Structure 1
């Protein structure tokens, strides 16, 4: 495929941007760190594969036990009619990987005449029920519903091999998605190809198994997603809801379309039907009834399509596409607001405040009904970060399925109403592509913070004219992007005032850091020590810790040697480790996967930043957990904080150390700052505080506050 002019401009801008950022990194980080970052950017990442599929080893029958509970959370109902070897393999898989959740397993025998009747009674923990006569799949499932005792009923075909974690992934979906009414597994063929990631129903009642024969790791099929239906081979729903809906409808007896009809009833009851790709189940499709729709039980599939289409005629005509089109994300999400986020990397909310803000913004967009797609320009492989977004329902593109930003936008750009570009160098690289492939989309530039303001302050602190000139180049680049996009997102009122002077023509909206206020933690008397949280690829954090550990903490330690200081953050340089090694009372923890214990146990958080821009997530994070903060003037800029009421503000080593010691021993002051800090988060940095701005930026119509180009 020939390269377009827009593609060429993208690659040119990317090369220029990488060169500029490399030079800036050399000035601020040194050659070792810069060489490392260049290596990360240029290294071709191999694709990450999921855990290999599990299959029990074939062996002659011998008695064994399966998970069981007298008070189950989930009742796994397995309807069977002969095919004892398949049932045995399914049960062995369940025994090999018992779920965390308490469960019971019911085998409902619909009149088997093979080894089923001999083997099943010998399996310890299994509830084995023999029906008086053969009635078909629907009758057997409804019997299982009546016999079940769990909060959730999980229907599982006997020709399946559930993979490790499959049940817990289904049940977790109900816990994390309050409106979930029915959740289905990702069904996989024994050879590893995808059989179904939920089903699509057309307006004539015909169905399409979404993703059939594709890779099970393809981004189109790897995220939590609303589906028209999920195959009854592996589905879960609350038992109370299943009973309320009357179980499977007997008009579809003996089988076929009963699961589709159930999904439509769940939606009609106001609940969501979801497919959960984290729940993987191998399904040997066609074992029970074959695949020939011209004869046998399978022939009911043709008959029942007509029954189903008649029952749901109005819904089908009003909400479902006509047959013929191959289902794609563009088609399946056509009724939703589709929003694309382009950033260099995926957010890692456990590592930096910008990622946490982005992650929570995505949660807000999803809660408002949008379909969110994330495109990382680095094209990194699947990872824990991509899995976290997919668990929310975000369509995340990654290697090897993402060939390139330009080619991806060529095929997908037309489906988006809004595109958010994160950081000025990413925006500058991608804007030519968006003008060509997504001209209809509103472009949103998320600054994260004003980079040029942060760089300028760092240069002034260092008294470095080269850094000042670099900051001016960054300023020109950022303002150029702002002028070329529809709206610019800022994180602080102070930055909004700065732009009113530097670029008054730019259309801006304020969406600051987004936090949830934590429940009240331990009080003053139960807490001890000091803590700082911040990643060290961010130059202001490194400077802050060099100053605090080298000049401030020794003053604190001299008066109170019992107070320890805990420094938390990824990518700690050797120079900081060496500095801390010479200072008694200092512990460098590096990256910590869960900082909440430190937010709840440390008495005071410190934010000794001497330069920077934007809103400081470390301050927000502590206040959200009711942990008072001592900070510099720079660290609280634009955060609506009052000295002595919400925070203690001090500049200079002696003043900062004095403020820490004062707060450490004053229980009344400590409690006032703790209470007011949480109130500040609720008023200025909560999801609710940002809701109106999010509506204006991402959901306004052309007549709204923010214009669409």
Structure 2
């Protein structure tokens, strides 16, 4: 394919220093650059100070508007070979416009994580109930899976989520591609130079505070886990990092308790390398947890939960400790913090396992092959996806005319 062009329609401008979602988006952008695509990134969202400078890596940046025919003109003129929707909400807004203006463009959905799974788990947690199918079959599931069917390919970050889609919802495997984080290999020589057990101190946790599972984790640490740890390690500190810390977060700061709200981390590597143990007792959510990836890359073992480790539990089991009860989470953290042999055993396991799991070369090849197969057989693949055709037809009718009504309404204001 000559003069390949990809349009990425972002939910927000990428902020790789603020969230795993931002890092994921940058990985996708770098994939397309490596395959010699001309990359255009667009979003209706306002840009923040934490946004990555995409111009620096040769990406064209375009602001777009919701419910506006200006997008139709823009996308038809661009005429991309591939369009990537960043989360199902962007496909809902712009998918029908892309289908109308650029029918031969391959439509790819990056789910980031399954929003309906995260939503269902959060509701089960609030209800204090075990998570089951009644929480899985929620309104978000209907919207998100409809979006998956309307696209030619959906990128799924976790094998657990892949199995949920295939087994619980009977989504055709041909519409799905398992694509975890695509990361450069850990250089073992550089890894050996990282600070050792005795050169590190204190605990660390990190996460964007806008993301509800992260805020809940900090509360859980404050009220339940950290007091248990401090009973045995009275001089230890927990350094809490994350973007967009609100007043309710900063009010948790307590130097007497060693619970320190540090705010935005300018350099996550520096933060992780100074800490001896990463704490990530996440109780609900979905996808892969960027904080655990950051910890492994910097030789920092983690005390975490099965939800946090989901999608990479074999990797986390080898490189950290997993438990779901407060006492055991706290004891795991204490053991990693005080047992130098255990600490080194976990850390030494990281490079080879990490490199195999997140191999950028392997996953780039699989993604590129999937796009090539779609490009060669796009019409036939769409004909085989009747459910997608049906949903696109109804989406074009309902979403299209609602959007046009909103656009006309705004003209009169």
**TM category, shorter:** 0.7 to 0.9
1:335 aligns with 2:8: no
Tell me, what secondary structure is at the counterpart of 2:209? coil
| Structure-2 separation of matches of 1:541 and 1:706 | 42
Aligned to 1:548: 221
Aligned to 2:154: 488
Aligned to 2:387: none
Any idea what the Cα deviations from partners look like across 1:486-540, whole Å, max 9, x if unmatched?
1111100000111012332341001112333363211111111111110011111
**Higher Rg of the two aligned structures:** 1
TM-score normalized by structure 2? 0.83
Residue number among 166, 169, 181 corresponding to 1:500 in the alignment: 166
TM-score normalized by structure 1? 0.49
When the two chains are superposed, the root-mean-square deviation of aligned CA atoms in Å is 2.6
Equivalent positions of 1:688-707 (< 5 A) are 688-700=361-373, 702-703=375-376
| Structure-2 separation of matches of 1:631 and 1:705 | 43
Change (3 A) 1:544 1:561: same
Tell me, what secondary structure is at the counterpart of 1:567? strand
Tell me, what secondary structure is at the counterpart of 2:63? coil
Equivalent positions of 1:252-271 (< 5 A) are none
**Structure 1: runs of 5 or more not aligned:** 1-333
Following superposition, the deviation at residue 342 of structure 1 comes to 0.4
Higher relative contact order (CA 8 A, sep 6+): 2
Following superposition, the deviation at residue 385 of structure 1 comes to 2.8
Residue number among 454, 457, 464 corresponding to 2:121 in the alignment: 457
Residue number among 345, 360, 363 corresponding to 2:30 in the alignment: 363
| Structure-2 separation of matches of 1:458 and 1:697 | 33
Following superposition, the deviation at residue 703 of structure 1 comes to 3.4
Aligned to 1:445: 109
Equivalent positions of 1:493-642 (< 5 A) are 493-506=159-172, 507-516=175-184, 517=186, 519-520=190-191, 521-581=194-254, 584-641=257-314
Q: Aligned pairs, how many?
A: 371
| Structure-2 separation of matches of 1:543 and 1:471 | 23
Equivalent positions of 1:474-485 (< 5 A) are 474-485=140-151
Residue number among 8, 11, 14 corresponding to 1:347 in the alignment: 14
- The answer to whether the 8 A contact 2:5-2:80 is kept is yes
- The answer to whether the 8 A contact 2:319-2:350 is kept is yes
Residue number among 345, 348, 361 corresponding to 1:672 in the alignment: 345
- The answer to whether the 8 A contact 2:75-2:98 is kept is no
- The answer to whether the 8 A contact 1:556-1:661 is kept is yes
| Structure-2 separation of matches of 1:671 and 1:455 | 37
| Structure-1 separation of matches of 2:199 and 2:48 | 42
Residue number among 54, 60, 64 corresponding to 1:389 in the alignment: 54
Change (3 A) 1:653 1:701: closer
| Structure-1 separation of matches of 2:282 and 2:48 | 35
Residue number among 333, 347, 353 corresponding to 1:660 in the alignment: 333
| Structure-1 separation of matches of 2:260 and 2:68 | 43
Change (3 A) 1:392 1:697: farther
Any idea what the Cα deviations from partners look like across 1:575-610, whole Å, max 9, x if unmatched?
333334386111101112212111111011111100
| Structure-2 separation of matches of 1:340 and 1:460 | 37
Deviates more, 1:591-600 or 1:408-417: 408-417
Any idea what the Cα deviations from partners look like across 1:521-560, whole Å, max 9, x if unmatched?
1111111111111001111111111111210011111111
Aligned to 2:73: 410
- The answer to whether the 8 A contact 2:273-2:298 is kept is yes
- The answer to whether the 8 A contact 2:197-2:340 is kept is yes
| Structure-2 separation of matches of 1:582 and 1:479 | 46
| Structure-2 separation of matches of 1:433 and 1:583 | 56
Tell me, what secondary structure is at the counterpart of 2:267? coil
Change (3 A) 1:578 1:706: farther
Aligned to 2:92: 428
Tell me, what secondary structure is at the counterpart of 1:434? helix
| Structure-2 separation of matches of 1:647 and 1:372 | 38
Structure ranking higher in helix proportion:
2
| Structure-2 separation of matches of 1:475 and 1:434 | 23
- The answer to whether the 8 A contact 2:106-2:375 is kept is no
- The answer to whether the 8 A contact 2:252-2:259 is kept is no
Aligned to 2:386: none
| Structure-1 separation of matches of 2:262 and 2:379 | 44
Change (3 A) 1:701 1:613: closer
